[in-house]
Amino acid sequence: MSGFPKILESTQDLSKGQISTLISMAKSLKEGQNTPFFFDQDKRPFLATLFLENSTRTKTSFAIAAQKLGAHYIDFDVSTSSLKKGESLEETLLTLKYQGVNACVIRTPNSGELAQFKKDPPLCIINGGDGTNQHPTQALLDLFTLYELGLDPQGKTFAIIGDIAHSRVASSLVDLLTRFGGKIVFCGPKECLPKSVSGPVMLTESLDEALELCDVIYTLRIQKERHTGPTPYYDSYHKLYGLNLQKMQGLKKAPVILHPGPVNIGVELSKDLVRSPFYKGYEQVINSIYMRMAIISATLGN
């Protein structure tokens, strides 16, 4: 794809045209079409993952996606690396580059840490989540999933329920959904809501109001690891903001539920709901492989 960024730090790095192309690429990869996106056997690139925070879905899906495309995959082990001897991320990336690594998916707890590489990128970088800032590949796979479910965001209202203030997923997702014509209702206890919002975004502390307005529900985990202040709302969270099958069955509309994972069962969603047809989190997991294949192919096809 022409002009695809060497560093995918944010959804804002992509034009609407590039996002639509990624969605078509992911769709044809999922349909098993004979796409031109696979790497030639004599030119197999090297892709590494470097994760400074825990991950189940993002890291594994990048590993699978890279190998499905025919790339070599390196699971860079931060805990036994020289990052633990004080080497900087920049020196580490330069070392990987000179060893022949072509692209690195990085997850870091530090918001905005990857922006430093934009001016003179040591190698291709894909943001696998940085602090509370951005998680662009999650939002792209969510948008792909919505289209797969027949839910074009244009004119639809999305209730994003949970710890929005500390969520990098929310920032990336809101950017994509609003650019594609969606409206947003942020819902949660006041400690979890942003102080201010702009564009087609509203805030409410009332779950019932959010559920009445929305066509799609997107739930978020309470990001306990990022909380420093008091969190008195933890204990009552499930009662006030958690969803269960009975509650969903009582709604006039029957909105689907997405969740980026990991779900804390019994907090934001009950187990019966996660096992019900309302829940589309496993579709997101399936689609993550194809969207991440598209992103790797676009990045290394430069």
Residues at the site binding ligand ASP, with contacts judged by CB under 6 A: 129, 135, 168-169, 221, 223, 260-261
Q: How far is CA 98 from the centre of its chain?
A: 29
Angle at 28 between CA 1 and CA 63, to 5 degrees: 75
**Least gap, CB of 132 to ligand ASP (angstroms):** 9
CB of 241 to ligand ASP, least distance (A): 15
Q: How far is the C-alpha of 220 from the C-alpha of 100, rounded, in Å?
A: 38
The least distance separating ligand ASP from the CB of residue 127, rounded to whole angstroms, comes to 11
CB closer to ligand ASP out of 189 and 260: 260
Q: Which residue, 64, 65, 253, 79, is CA-closest to 156?
A: 253
Residue 194's SS3 state is coil
Q: Which residue number, 136 or 153, has a Cβ lying nearer to ligand ASP?
A: 136
Residue nearest ligand ASP, Cβ-based: 221
**Of 262, 255, 250, the residue nearest 277 (C-alpha):** 255
At 121, the amino acid letter reads P
Q: Which is nearer to ligand ASP, 168 or 292 (CB)?
A: 168
| Gap between the Cα atoms of 5 and 298, Å rounded | 9
In this complex, which beta carbon is closest to ligand ASP, that of residue 169 or of residue 217?
169
The C-alpha angle 115, 11, 60, rounded to 5 degrees, equals: 85
Minimum separation from the CB atom of position 147 to ligand ASP (A): 21
The residue (of 130 and 148) whose beta carbon lies closer to ligand ASP is: 130
Beta carbon of residue 250, minimum distance to ligand ASP (angstroms, whole number) = 27
Residue with Cβ nearer ligand ASP (133 or 299) = 133
Q: Which amino acid, one-letter code, is at 99?
A: Q
| 108 vs 140: CA distance, rounded Å | 19
Q: What is the DSSP letter of 134?
A: B
Helix (H, G, I), strand (E, B) or coil at 146: helix
The smaller minimum CB distance to ligand ASP, of residues 164 and 211, is found at 164
Name the minimum Å distance from CB 264 to ligand ASP. 9
CB of 254 to ligand ASP, least distance (A): 25
**CA distance from start to end of the chain:** 7
